[in-house]
Amino acid sequence: MKSSIIMLATAAALVATVSAASATSRSAAAPAAKQSCTFATLPRATPAGQQSLYGHINSLTRKGNHYVLRFDPALLLSGVTANRASLEDTGSGDVPNDTYTRDETHKLLTFLVPAGANVTVLTHATCSTQTTVAKLAKSTTPRRRFWIRVRIDTVRSIDEQYHP
């Protein structure tokens, strides 16, 4: 009986020591991990008088001190809404990753984008990284999807949406 208690106490002390060492190494590594990869919650909160739109960038061209964005809006659906929309559009209600994009018209909208607008793009699949409108204009493709936050005709932010 005494040997069982001693073995149990020794095992508990060993687990506590390993756990404390592991927590120390995790907390030391956490700042480095946070610096290299952040996750954006999208769409961004939209203040009164603004709206968030999801879709893809058809073109983003410089014009004077700003850019002109031609944007193809779409609906990013999930859950039952995604399943039913997919069934109506494709004949199949199977929705991978519980999201379905309905892009009905492909009619483009035009927005002005200040050169200093907030822009985040994805690196390493899901890591959000700040970039500039100029860099985005040189690198965007129609396959990439974005959330834009707009007030009247001016884009306040552009954020790339992860889509597997």
For residue range 108-144, list pLDDT tens digits in order.
999 999 999 999 999 877 888 999 999 999 998 888 9
Separation of CA 133 from chain center: 17
Taking CA atoms, 65 is separated from 17, 39, 70, 72, 112, in Å, by: 59, 30, 17, 23, 10
Closest residue by Cα to residue 68 from 112, 108, 109: 112
pLDDT of residue 35: 53
pLDDT of residue 36: 61
Where the chain has pLDDT below 50, the residues are: 1-34
pLDDT of residue 44: 81
Q: Where are the domains of the chain?
A: 1-36, 51-161
Residue 99: how many other CB atoms lie within 10 Å: 16
pLDDT of residue 77: 95
pLDDT of residue 1: 47
